Structure 1
Amino acid sequence: MKTTISNVKNHVGEQVTIGCWLANKRSSGKIAFLQLRDGTGFIQGVVEKSKVDEEIFKKAKQLTQESSLYVTGVVRVDERSPFGYELGVENIEIIHEASDYPITPKEHGTEFLMDNRHLWLRSKRQHAIMKVRNELIRATYEFFNDQGFVKVDPPILTGSAPEGTTELFHTKYFDEDAYLSQSGQLYMEAAAMALGKVFSFGPTFRAEKSKTRRHLIEFWMIEPEMAFYQFEDNLQLQEQYVSHIVQSVLKNCSLELKTLERDISKLEQVVPPFPKITYDDAIALLHKKGFNDIAWGDDFGSPHETAIAESFDKPVFITHYPTSLKPFYMQPDPNRPEVVLCADLIAPEGYGEIIGGSERIHDYHLLKKRLEEHHLDEAAYKWYLELRQYGSVPHSGFGLGLERTVAWICGIEHVRETIPFPRLLNRLYP
């Protein structure tokens, strides 16, 4: 019977055949231990000389790393294994014999591994990270579908910059200028006026010449927008969503988190409500912690976000940033127009901002004024202004960066490991 590694739990005591690759092996004189992988998981195959034909045992001893195989054997419970099962191998059929596989069990430098990313993905650690990423994606669709959201796909090619920045990838769109999308937000606002509650999930691009461990040139964003949602409604949805995806990973990826040696006690605390701190209070907190160089009106860098997060054991909202620091579309606080009704959600353990969100300006005249203040071409935003002319309502939204969230949940140092083929400042290969 053909099966997969992830499904062997249903075949204890039965003979099965698994199509797989040899990840690694070790052997003594009379027994060979084969570390097998098939994409769904990893299992140890045990080949005992006394129980197989001499040819099979010789084949097992000579197998090379990453050779592809059909392995037949009986599934056994193995309480010593994190996976819980092993395979008593009875037959091996070689599909393709690999030679000189470049990634060996020894230590390799990061650049070497990145040059071989197409092969590095096969390793146990990278497999675990990709499985956690997949669970976050699955849980995201589950959450928003259960909440009555409609998935909408905004364009990747746009004629303007939603954030009003110059860090854009420019291309020619026949005889006019176009840019790779930095965010689907403005289009999602239009969709929310049609469908109520919407979310997008797609690639975004930032031509930012940054080399930090938190930045990618191409990354994936989850961007919900909700009609009739005000500032506090938006924060409540965010904490429900983040809690849902974290708890889903804890429930469905326990083996992967073990592989990554993740301290799950910190993730288990990620349940609503999340603490909130205003920008004003965050500045005061930083001064108490010795960051005397930061003044009101300055933006926070990674060290500042980390220092703020250290004061809490859950993700923390920093709210009410100065209007001057944020994009043109954010709604001012009616009681204090020098700050906006926005929040950044800062992950614990030094992982920084994973969500940026706000209530959006819904007044036509105020939005028109903001476009002028930011020196943005009103003609390019004509359609966006029209959303405020035809049945405007209070509305809010946010964007979550998938890769930063994966890095935090997995407890890994750099976002380059959180996406299958990272695009970095000096890397477009493979």
Structure 2
Amino acid sequence: MIKTTIAETYKYVDQEVKIGAWIANKRSSGKIAFLQLRDGSGFIQGVVVKADVSEEVFKAAKSVTQESSVYVIGKVQKEDRSPLGYELLVTDVEVIHESTDYPITPKNHGTEFLMDHRHLWLRSRKQHAVMKIRNEIIRATYEFFNENGFSKVDPPILTGSAPEGTSELFATKYFDEDAYLSQSGQLYMEAAAMALGKVFSFGPTFRAEKSKTRRHLIEFWMIEPEMAFYEFEDNLKVQEEYVSYIVQAVVKNCQVELKTLDRDVSKLEKIQAPFPRISYDEAITFLQEKGFDDITWGEDFGAPHETAIAESYDKPVFITHYPTKIKPFYMQPDAEREDVVLCADLIAPEGYGEIIGGSERIHDYELLKQRLAEHELDMDAYKWYLELRQYGSVPHSGFGLGLERTVAWISGVEHVRESIPFPRLLNRLYP
């Protein structure tokens, strides 16, 4: 007997196989039962015909409950109406464990109920599809950076200083010292780039920001590359090539999942480098002409502003050269305009907001020291960071991509909370 998974049934057309699965749903008549089976790798329909099986098997198929675990044996058949392209003509059903009173039934449930049962909600078709797309983005991320000569480096999660100030950090005690949960691995990745040239990290980050919007999480995952000898334009090129790469990987390898989510794939197929770009100055003028009287030069953009800009494009758009005063201390000023820095935010289409923030970093020791003083940051805490500019400093650049916003955009789900297995929100630490 061939034991396989649902995802690999295509290898065994017209052959009998054994699959371990759960009952996602079922329906039956007097002579036939349809079992919706899932095993983590995918979903497939199992057809049980009364005339072709024993009375015991048909009784088991009709009575088995939602989310019961089973072994099923059956012949793999092509089925064009199935999203998978195949179905299983079942000859035997063995119940491993019978599930009773499964709380998430095939009906509408409120968001809070589903979030309280997130550990079970993940089993549903749409949540399964989002997690598979997330996995593909992660796989393609490693592939892209490995193919382009980057080394993976893991920065610490516990830090003694804050890249962008301490106001939105979770503080803790590190024995008798103050410490923080990392909001970014960037500063450490700059040190790694001085050793290894091109590096990237992928890990959890934390923001103690009391926000309830559909774009925000308290704990999220960041991909953060840093590159020695890369200037501003080089940085933008890597960003657009990377984003194009992961989007097209999903389009190629997650067709079933995108269909499950009713995602308009034609919009994703357009995501190819290069991406359009506008300056912060141009963005301010554009918004004011669109009737946004609340925004003036020197202020940061909110979600409505980013959405309005993104609606003019069918690709992600770079907004470049933000005012120095609204950006972190480490960003390199424009040589021709010291009131703006060599930075860019990448805004996703369809209202998903900023998915990347990046910049060329200050590489001059005296200027960085000046910026630290202006931001009233502790020189002793940043001594090691300053030393990177004392021993062979070079122009260097980097960026951070927020994984969950990117997953939400590519998947087409409305809220970022569905793009991470167990979201941490302002009022949610369970399950």
Q: TM-score higher than 0.5 here?
A: yes
Distance (Å, rounded) in 2 between the aligned partners of 1:312 and 1:63: 50
Write the mapping of 1:55-134 to structure 2, written as runs, cut at 5 A. Answer: 55-134=56-135
Give the letter for the 1:115 counterpart: D
Distance (Å, rounded) in 1 between the aligned partners of 2:166 and 2:321: 21
Per-residue Cα deviation, 1:148-189 (whole angstroms, up to 9, x for no partner): 000000000000111114111111101111100000000000
Q: Secondary structure at the match of 1:406?
A: helix
Distance (Å, rounded) in 2 between the aligned partners of 1:142 and 1:425: 34
| 1:240 matched residue in structure 2 | 241
| 1:2 matched residue in structure 2 | 3
Query: 1:313 Cα shift?
Result: 1.1
Per-residue Cα deviation, 1:305-361 (whole angstroms, up to 9, x for no partner): 000011111100000000001000000001000000000000000000000000000
Give the letter for the 2:358 counterpart: G
Distance (Å, rounded) in 2 between the aligned partners of 1:97 and 1:412: 32
| 2:401 matched residue in structure 1 | 400
Deviates more, 1:156-165 or 1:314-323: 156-165
1:281 aligns with 2:282: yes
Write the mapping of 1:359-374 to structure 2, written as runs, cut at 5 A. Answer: 359-374=360-375
| 1:140 matched residue in structure 2 | 141
The percentage of aligned residue pairs carrying the same residue is: 79
Query: TM-score with structure 1 length normalisation?
Result: 1.00
Q: CA RMSD in A?
A: 0.5
1:39 aligns with 2:40: yes
Query: 1:146 Cα shift?
Result: 0.3
| 2:377 matched residue in structure 1 | 376
Distance (Å, rounded) in 2 between the aligned partners of 1:100 and 1:410: 31
Distance (Å, rounded) in 1 between the aligned partners of 2:112 and 2:180: 30
Deviates more, 1:162-171 or 1:59-68: 162-171
Q: Secondary structure at the match of 1:131?
A: helix
| 1:199 matched residue in structure 2 | 200
| 1:306 matched residue in structure 2 | 307
| 1:409 matched residue in structure 2 | 410
Distance (Å, rounded) in 2 between the aligned partners of 1:231 and 1:356: 12
Distance (Å, rounded) in 2 between the aligned partners of 1:80 and 1:314: 33
| 1:388 matched residue in structure 2 | 389
Query: TM-score with structure 2 length normalisation?
Result: 0.99
Write the mapping of 1:180-199 to structure 2, written as runs, cut at 5 A. Answer: 180-199=181-200
Q: Secondary structure at the match of 2:414?
A: coil
Query: 1:405 Cα shift?
Result: 0.1
Per-residue Cα deviation, 1:401-429 (whole angstroms, up to 9, x for no partner): 00000000001100000000000000000
Query: 1:301 Cα shift?
Result: 0.1
Distance (Å, rounded) in 2 between the aligned partners of 1:28 and 1:264: 36
Distance (Å, rounded) in 2 between the aligned partners of 1:132 and 1:63: 30
Deviates more, 1:337-346 or 1:74-83: 74-83
Query: 1:82 Cα shift?
Result: 1.2
Distance (Å, rounded) in 2 between the aligned partners of 1:428 and 1:293: 35
Query: 1:292 Cα shift?
Result: 1.6
Give the letter for the 1:237 counterpart: V
| 2:221 matched residue in structure 1 | 220
Give the letter for the 2:265 counterpart: I
1:20 aligns with 2:21: yes
| 1:422 matched residue in structure 2 | 423
Per-residue Cα deviation, 1:79-104 (whole angstroms, up to 9, x for no partner): 11111000000001110000000000
Q: Secondary structure at the match of 2:305?
A: helix
Query: 1:28 Cα shift?
Result: 1.3
Per-residue Cα deviation, 1:17-54 (whole angstroms, up to 9, x for no partner): 00000000001110000000000000000000000001
| 2:296 matched residue in structure 1 | 295
| 1:170 matched residue in structure 2 | 171
Q: Secondary structure at the match of 2:3?
A: coil
Deviates more, 1:159-168 or 1:224-233: 159-168
Q: Secondary structure at the match of 1:111?
A: helix
| 2:337 matched residue in structure 1 | 336
Distance (Å, rounded) in 1 between the aligned partners of 2:312 and 2:40: 40
**Count of aligned residue pairs for this structure pair:** 430
Give the letter for the 1:46 counterpart: V
Distance (Å, rounded) in 1 between the aligned partners of 2:173 and 2:288: 48
Give 5+ residue unaligned stretches, structure 2.
none
Give the letter for the 1:366 counterpart: L
Give the letter for the 2:63 counterpart: Q
